[in-house]
């Protein structure tokens, strides 16, 4: 009986160690990809940051592309799930009278809150998404993980803007996501331009303004 219990403890311990190793690798890769992109990082770079041999990465991940995909997917479900929940709640509350600003608040504020609440790890993921969003590899992953929540937002916007063309609404979303990704990148450019008045990591300040600003843009598109 005791031998069985010991075996279970050892087995569980090994599983926990494996999970911890994978998390450490994903954290390191996320940090490096957020700064250097897919092609600027090697498995050796990741292994060095974790403090392990490269063979361990090959044991857990088929190759760098697979590691990249797992880094992206690890948090994508959380952010898309939270935004979908917020949009569905807003849709139910708004009924037949949704507004552009209301829909954008549900979509944008929820995501910005997540990055602020999640600390450094989530801020790294934000920068990672911002960097890879303008690449072929990143766009393909966004199609897989984020299309449902984006199309939910677009559906609400169409009801809020019945006199706008679908073309204008999709272009409007394109401009929204471009602004969001530029914000998530936290390049520090606005810090320098404003002489320190604004800070690129001040997502609370962004949250106070971005939905209202973008809503005005959508409304202005009507011919």
- The tokens 């606005």 sit on which residue? 190
Both tokens assigned to 93: 């509350």
Task: Indicate the pTM of the whole model.
Answer: 0.86
How confident is the model over 126-167, as pLDDT tens digits? Answer: 999 998 888 888 888 999 999 999 999 999 999 999 999 999
173 has a pLDDT exceeding 90: yes
Question: In terms of residue numbers, what domain contains 122?
Answer: 2-220
Tokens of 44: 């050796």
Calpha distance 44→202 (Å, rounded): 33
- Structure tokens, 132: 């890879």
How would you class 40 by CB atoms within 10 Å of its CB: exposed for 0-12, middle for 13-18, buried for 19 or more? exposed
Q: For residue 79, which of 126, 19, 32, 135 has the smallest C-alpha distance?
A: 126
**What total number of domains does the chain contain?**
1
Separation CA 166–CA 148 (nearest Å): 17
Which pLDDT band, with edges at 50, 70 and 90, does 182 fall under?
A: very high
Rounded to the nearest angstrom, the gap between the alpha carbon of residue 99 and the centroid of all alpha carbons in its chain is 24
Please write the tens of the pLDDT for every residue from 73-128.
999 999 999 999 999 999 999 999 999 999 999 999 999 999 999 988 999 999 99
Pick the closest to residue 142 from 195, 115, 180 (CA basis). 180
Mean pLDDT of 34-55: 92
**Which pair of tokens denotes residue 49?**
């940051």
Backbone angles phi, psi at 40, to 5 degrees: -95, 10
The CATH number given to whatever domain includes residue 35 is 1.10.357.10
Name the DSSP letter for residue 199: -
């Amino acid at each position: 009986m005791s031998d069985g219990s010991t075996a279970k403890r050892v087995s569980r311990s090994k599983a926990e160690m494996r999970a911890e190793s994978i998390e450490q690798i994903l954290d390191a890769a996320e940090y490096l990809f957020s700064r250097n992109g897919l092609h600027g990082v090697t498995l050796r770079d990741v292994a060095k940051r974790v403090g392990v041999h490269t063979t361990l990465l090959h044991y857990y991940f088929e190759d760098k592309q697979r590691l990249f995909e797992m880094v992206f997917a690890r948090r994508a479900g959380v952010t898309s799930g939270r935004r979908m929940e917020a949009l569905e709640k807003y849709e139910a509350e708004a009924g037949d009278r949704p507004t552009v600003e209301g829909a954008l608040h549900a979509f944008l504020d929820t995501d910005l809150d997540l990055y602020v609440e999640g600390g450094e790890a989530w801020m790294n993921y934000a920068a990672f998404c911002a960097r890879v969003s303008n690449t072929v590899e990143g766009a393909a992953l966004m199609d897989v993980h984020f299309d449902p929540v984006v199309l939910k937002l677009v559906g609400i916007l169409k009801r809020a803007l019945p006199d706008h063309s679908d073309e204008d609404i999709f272009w409007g979303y394109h401009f929204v996501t471009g602004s969001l990704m530029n914000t998530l990148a936290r390049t520090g450019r606005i810090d320098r331009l404003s002489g320190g008045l604004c800070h690129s990591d001040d997502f609370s300040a962004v949250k106070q303004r971005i939905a209202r600003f973008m809503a005005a843009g959508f409304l202005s598109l009507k011919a």
